[in-house]
Chain A
């Protein structure tokens, strides 16, 4: 650590005013503050409180919480590939994992390079400190797309959402919509055939560098929710597989267990709000139970929660502190409605097998309104108390 600090100190003059690398000032600043907590204190005079951890540290925690789901996603990519090729007995654990690793890594790199590239450029251009919000979005984005998404599509979608969902609104902390979900929504509406269309998008088709297997051209695998939308009464995968995550789906969303690990870390450190998270699950379960009881859906409440992106969205995206409701009471309503809308879209709209993305984006839009209602209710209640 000491040598890194020394190295940073050594190259620092190059990036200061008049230095030869001044054009990359924000790049240096971004990496320095990422590696070391900035040594700034509150100004003297007035009341300022600096929290012990700044937003870069919070973001890093979320990234750590995402790692189990990402690693499992990599393994599952390899597992699905071997399963599709009918070579499961010939595949080793590490072989499948490295195949998935190689399939996912380019997406991760593209997502970070494009997103951070835009962030650094904007920060440099506006002469601001580099914002770190993309640290989390950049790892979430590859996890919520199918494994066969072409890289150029991903690059365009990331650029679109960083510019139009984030920088336009003023950068990190100002965005109305979740950046990662806007990326997915852009892909979903722009290139539907690569996102859901035929069912060949969910399983990696070709061997990479001798790892993995070539899948026969005719093979297709639907996600469990896709199967339901196509008219089956029950998914072909077992409930056990669905919980562990050995089912076709977007890279990081399949495993409930891996997501639960991340959720524990987020809740234990207090980064994510337990109220939002819990109410999403409650809303989804209640709605799923109602539809099941009414005979509109063949899935029971439990499966609605386990399948698709429900858990991933509830844990990592509904709780996004920027775009979710901020009042304590508002969080309950916000979360509950996400669960309700997600399951409703799944059940009632035959065109969209999965509704989590649309539900969270819709509620992102209403979060400020929910907050406004709670704040004004508080104000009027206190005003009444004062008058009495």
Chain B
């Protein structure tokens, strides 16, 4: 089983929504489309599902050309950002609705709905209507509808985006388990890098209608092929600084901080990308390179603390574990891990990392 996009392009009027794209998704994989709003994730999914036709290019499923085939004839299910359920149906009837239309016997329906309801912790509320449920339960119902069908292709379009923080965390942890042992291809669109890392599988980074990089999630994260891909896969955004390399010595153009590198590249000027969590307020492990900073903003996010600071004429972001607050204008030392630096050339292509 595989899903293949061959030179798929989507234009609406003069505007290009998806630039010619090639992508091959394999059986039993979770594939994450990672990109900001309007990157083309939804459009790409709708083309994959057959809800929308590409302007040019072909979609192949199991070595069969399915371009332009109606979505009803394909075995596809989809979950949306909004909680989409039939408003007048009970949870049970909602989950059973895809089975009823395809004419599955009532005994089998009962058994399959029961099973998937248990998986999604909906067993106790099968007789309720969607508007009597919390947002999390409504989305669980929508997920159950998608899973009950045993589709070949399950598309999830930012399913957690409309949930509040607690419910999102809760459902997010259950997600990988839901897709285990399923004979299908899962495509999952999200704007959040942490969701991609949690789900594993493969990740495609998207920007402005282009797939920048596709590969195993960890590889895409650790070896971004370009600055754009690294930025898409970094939240908060990566710090970027101009550096100069000569011999085994590197230094920022902004200041006189120097470090040694094992990089085997030509001497010259490069850009370095540093993820915020590789700059911490305390010396720890390999975080040893010292940088002085003046605090701009200090904020707390979950159990982590973000410090925005200036050094030279650049703004930097650091992310440290623990909850603490710094006063605006404080001078402080921060520590960077040079092993995790990602080096790009002046065209913003990856040179090397480490």
Query: Are A and B part of the same complex?
Result: no
